[in-house]
Structure 1
Amino acid sequence: MHNFELQHIIDTHLQVTRYRDYAPNGLQVQGRPEINKIVTGVTACQLLLDKAVELNADAILVHHGYFWKNEPETITGIKYHRMKTLLSHDINLYSYHLPLDGHPVLGNNVLLGQMFDITVDARDDITDLLFKGTLANPLTAIEFKQLLEQKLHNGLHSVLFCGDNAPAVIKRVAWCSGGGQDYIETAAQQGFDAFFTGEVSERTIHIAREYGINFYACGHHATERYGIKTLGEWLSTNHGLETIFIDIDNPA
């Protein structure tokens, strides 16, 4: 498959034009024209790039790519080494950020809902990244923490939890993958028992305590493994491309 054809296929399926994002979605670094083998991963870090070189991949497909708003524009430091790796080995780099959080089938958030057996409420729009739903079986706040740790970290890492003044039993849950901690106030105002996301800020704990909502910070990487892996599997099933998911673990 031609590299620009692949971009068109993914752009169309993820409806990228509907999102205002913090980095360009699609083909970020052009490589060889013909693509057969793709390495997928969460972040285009040097370790993932090196793995793609070892596997002689034609392309790398990630959730976190390059050229973020407000980052330095110069190609120096680790950015230089990453670019050199891609360009010297003629590897294409594709990145899809918010479209892969919000997609109703392949997205990080809908997959998290399925993982935790949450019935997702109807959404007003595909670009709405605060997901809301109901647990199939209510859990205590501590039981839900343990479930998050087991499903997302295989029990190897703990989840940051604040349950001060919050309901002891959780039924209604809101969530947003990655750095979605600032959705907590909306979730609390709408009466949810709990809110989980990837990251935490200092202010988040005060908001959780004062609103009385259970809050869980599960790790940015841990909440965003699933969309990019599933997108790769979709490309393999529907377009005959070889895709290999490589998880470069990151506890943050």
Structure 2
Amino acid sequence: MRIGIQIPSFTYPGGQEQIAPIFARVARDADQGGLASLWVMDHFFQIRGVGAAEEPMLEGYSALSYAAAITERITLGTMVTGVVYRYPGILVKTVTTLDVLSGGRAWFGVGAAWNAEESAGLGVPFPPVAERFEQLEETLRIAKRMWAGDESPFEGKHYRLERPLNSPPAVSRPHPRILIGGGGEKKTLRLVARYADATNLFDSPELPHKLDVLREHCAREGRAYGDIEKTVLSVLSADSTAGQLEDVVGRLGEHGVDQVIFSARQPHLPNAVPLLADLAAKVA
């Protein structure tokens, strides 16, 4: 079992001047504390359920590049990039850059997108959900092709790339790990079985059923279920205790979860990262 941390909020004591030093401290402490992964949301407005849209939100890949420069071991990813945010070739180039500069520590976290509010606010096209899933599958095909060094033209329904050149290539072999977020049973989990190295699901009562659905998709795709890393997003609250976190990990481990990623709404609190570091040492 591995333990990761997601940082979904940049609302810290001291205002925006403290965002960089606090984020840096959390990233370094997570790295030195033995956590497996560090994640940020790829959103441009803060999302409902975490805070008001007007609260501070950093651009995901800029934040991860900053984290890459001050860490040594921890893997880095977005949880997850909405497929509508960037053209696929540019997105693959962005993830590759993070992978090269971090020495092979990048994840490619991606999903079909859901936040129409920020897309409308910033002028990003936000097509209907069926079209977004088509875009997601084409993006995954393009990523696989570019990371394989295939520069031949790509002609899809939504994207046309005349020469998908990707130089320098990624350091990770065979490519940065692909994680698809979401638990949609007909489309999302099918795409996980077909293209991904990992799935990310919520810590909810539906989790066992979602994993069973993924197993069925793997059988249909001729994919070994065990080849896919099962990650689950849980919550680290201000009053979480070591015992509670151990119970969460134990319960999820019984379902075959490989990595639990705790969303730390207040990562600046002194006990946040140490709690997870102690947990990581116990379950390693």
Q: TM-score range by the shorter chain?
A: under 0.3
Q: Give me the TM-score of the superposition, normalised by structure 1.
A: 0.27
Structure 2 length as normaliser, TM-score?
A: 0.25
Please identify which structure carries the higher strand content. 1
